[in-house]
Amino acid sequence: MDFRTLLAAVLGVGLGLFFLAAPDAVVRMHAAGRRPPGRGGEYGADSGGGRWRRVVQAVGVALVAVGLYFGASAL
């Protein structure tokens, strides 16, 4: 059993589950410090996050799948 492969599996599944559980938090962390494209809208209103949420969720599914593959190959 290779320790690095098992560690990659655990980290991949963990990060993938985080991406699936909290996609809004991932999008907010990615966009931290950037200026918004438009200045209009109500205070505190989030806009245009639906597409990026789906992208983050798709990446989360891919990370879980790759982590499970690494885990199966390590055992």
**2-60: per-residue pLDDT in tens?**
899 999 999 999 999 999 999 988 988 887 776 666 666 566 665 556 888 999 999 99
Count how many residues are written for the chain.
75
Predicted local distance difference test score (pLDDT) of residue 55: 94
C-beta of residue 52 within 8 angstroms of C-beta of residue 27: yes
Distance CA 58, CA 66 (A): 12
pLDDT of residue 36: 62
Tokens of 26: 């991932």
Q: What is the pTM of this model?
A: 0.79
